Structure 1
C-alpha cells in the first residue's frame, strides 16, 4: 500500500502543524497529501497554500462537495491546481448529504447519483477541451436555458496541462460505490472496515462491469485510512475515538438520511446505531458516546498497543485499499511508518 497524509477538515481554526506534517510526509516518501471540507474551510485553498511547499507528493481533495460549486467552476480550479502542481492534482468529489446540501448550500439533494454522473461528465468535457461545452441534463444545463438567451457553449481559455485529471468519488452506499467503479478513477470510502471488505469489492466490481472491457482500470485507487490511537490499554485508546464515532453515527446527518450510520449498521450494529442515534439526537451526547462499543471502534479504527495496531494494519493491507490515509502529528507519522517498515 501507498501512504497518504490527510490534514482533515478544519474545526474552529486551521489544524496545528499541518505545514510541518506535510513536509515530513513528503520526506518519508508518502505518495499523497489530502485536504477536506464540510461547512467551514474549503478544500482547495489550503491544498494550494500548503502544496506550494511540496514537489513530489500528489495533492488531493477528500472531499470537495459538489453542491458548493458548479461543475465548470470545479473544473477550472482543477485545471489551475494541476498546472500549479506540475500535474500532481487529484480531484476527490462527494455528494455530501441533504442537511448540508439543502441547509448550507441551498441546493436540491434528491437523485444524488444522477447528479454526480452529470457533474463528472461536465468536468471531463471541460478538461478534455475538445469542443465548446454544451450539456443538457436533468440537473445541469450548459448553456443555461432561459435567462437572457445570450449564453453560448464555451471552451476553457486555458489549455489543460493534462487532458484527463483523475477524479475520485466518495461513496458509502452500494449504488454510489458502484458508480465510483463505473465512472471514476478512484474511490474514497469513509468508515471503511476491513472485515466488510467483500461488500466494497462486490460493489466496485458491479461498477467495473459497466466499463468498456468490463473490468477495473489497472490504476484504479481506493484511498482510505483508519484513525489510529496508541495506548497500552485498549479501552483507554477506544475512549479517545468514541466521541468521533458517536458524532458521525448520531449527529452527522438526519436520522432518516445518515449515511455514516448506515455504514456502521451494515457491520451488524443495527441496534447499537439506533441507540446511539436516539441518545445523540435527544441531546444526551455523553450517553451516546458511552454507548459506542469497543468492537465498533476497532472495526473502523486501529486502537491499542503498537503490536495490536500493527496486526490491524496488516488487515488493511489485505483489503481493497491501495493507499492508506494517515492523520496526526509528526511523531505519529514516524511511529506508523516504523510499524510498517
Structure 2
C-alpha cells in the first residue's frame, strides 16, 4: 500500500507548513502529493510552487475541475507541468456538482458523464499531437461553430514530454466509476469504504470489459483519500473527522442532489444522512457535526490508537485501493508513516 499526501484546497488562505509537508513526504518515501480546487484557490499553482522543490514524488491534481478550464487549456497546463517536473505529473479530473459548476463557473452541468468523455478525448488529442485538434462533440466543439467563422483547428506548439500522460478521474457513483475504468488511467475515490469493495469492483469490472477500455485492472491506479487520525481516544480522533463529513453530507450539494450523501446512504446511513442534512441546511452546523456517528467515520477513515489502525489497515490492503492519500503536517506524516509500517 503506497502513501500519498493531500494538500487539499485552501480555506481563507494558504495552509500552514505546506512546503515542509511536501518535502517531508518525499523524504519519507511517499508516492505522491495532490492538490484540489473548489471556488477559492486553484490546484495548479500550489502544485507547481511547492512541487518545484521536490525531485522524485509524483505531483497530481485531486481534482482539477472540468468546468474551470476548457479541455485545451487543461491539456496545456498538463503538458507544461509534466515538462517542468520531468514527467511526474498526473492529471486528476472531476466534474464537481451543479451548485459549483453553474453557480461559480457559469457553465452547464447536465450530462456530466458525456461531458467527461468528450473532455478527455480532446485532452488526449492535444497530448497525442498527431493532427490539428478538432471535435464535433456537443459540449466542446472545436473549432467553435458560429462566431466570426475564422476559428482554425490548431496543433499544440509544445511537444508533450509524455503523450500518454496519466489521467485519473474522481468518481463516486457506479456509472462514474465504470467510466473511469473505461477511459482513464486511475480512479480517485473520496469516501471509499472497505465494506463496499465488492460494489466498486463490480463497477470497475464493467468499465474494464467495455470495448476499447484503456487499461486492465492490473495497470489501473486507485488512490483513495483516507483521513488518518492517530489518538489513543477513538472518539476524540473521530471528532477530527466529523466536521468534514457533516459539511460534505449536509452542505456540499442540494438536498435532492448530493453525491457524497449517496455514498453514505449506500453504506446504510440513510437516516443519519437525512438528519445531518436537515441540521446543516438549517444552519445548525455544530449539531450536524455531532450527529455524525463514530461508525460512519470509521467506515471511511482510520482513527484511534496505533494498534487499532494497524489492524484495520489489513482490510484496506485487501481492497482495490493501492494508495492511501492522507492529510497531515510534517510531524503528523512521520507518525502516520510509522504506524502504517512505511
Normalising to structure 2: TM-score of the pair? 0.97
Partner of 1:331: 331
Count of matched residue pairs: 341
Does residue 1:7 correspond to 2:7, yes or no? yes
* C-alpha deviation, 1:304, in angstroms: 1.1
Q: Distance in 2 between matches of 1:162 and 1:286?
A: 48
SS in structure 2 opposite 1:142? coil
Question: Is structure 2 residue 227 aligned with structure 1 residue 224?
Answer: no
- Per the alignment, residue 200 of structure 2 pairs with 200
| Partner Cα separation in structure 2 for residue 310 and residue 336 of structure 1 | 10
The question of 1:164 aligning with 2:164 is answered: yes
Q: Distance in 1 between matches of 2:29 and 2:215?
A: 30
Within a 5 Å distance, the mapping from 1:1-341 to structure 2 comes to 1-212=1-212, 216-341=216-341
Tell me the distance in 2 between the aligned counterparts of 1:287 and 1:46: 34
Q: Which runs of 5+ in 2 are unaligned?
A: none
Equivalent-residue separation in structure 2 for 1:88 and 1:19 (angstroms): 17
Whether the aligned pair in 2 keeps the contact of 1:209 and 1:215 (CA below 8 Å) is no
The residue matched to 1:314 in structure 2 has which SS?
Answer: helix
**Residue deviations 1:101-157, cap 9 Å, x none?**
000000000000000000000000000000000101111100000000001110000
Tell me how large the CA RMSD over aligned residues is: 1.2
Q: Deviations over 1:55-98 (max 9, x none)?
A: 10111000000000000000000000000011111000000000
C-alpha displacement of 1:218? 3.2
Determine helix, strand or coil for the equivalent of 1:192.
coil
Per the TM alignment, residue 215 of structure 1 is displaced from its structure 2 partner at its CA by 6.8
Secondary structure class of the residue paired with 1:153: coil
Q: CA deviation at 1:225?
A: 3.0
Unmatched 5+ stretches in structure 1: none
In 1, Cα distance between equivalents of 2:290 and 2:339? 30
SS at match of 2:132: coil
Distance 1:232 1:31 in 2: 27
8 Å contact 2:187–2:221 — kept in the other structure?
Answer: yes
Structure 1 213/279 Cα, relative in aligned 2: closer, same or farther at 3 Å? closer
Question: Is the CA contact (8 Å cut-off) linking 1:66 and 1:94 kept in structure 2?
Answer: yes
Instruction: Compute the displacement of 1:242 (Å).
Output: 1.2
The CA deviation string for residues 276-335 of structure 1, in whole angstroms up to 9 with x for no partner, is: 111111111122111111100100111111111112222212111111111101221111
3-state SS of paired residue (1:296): helix
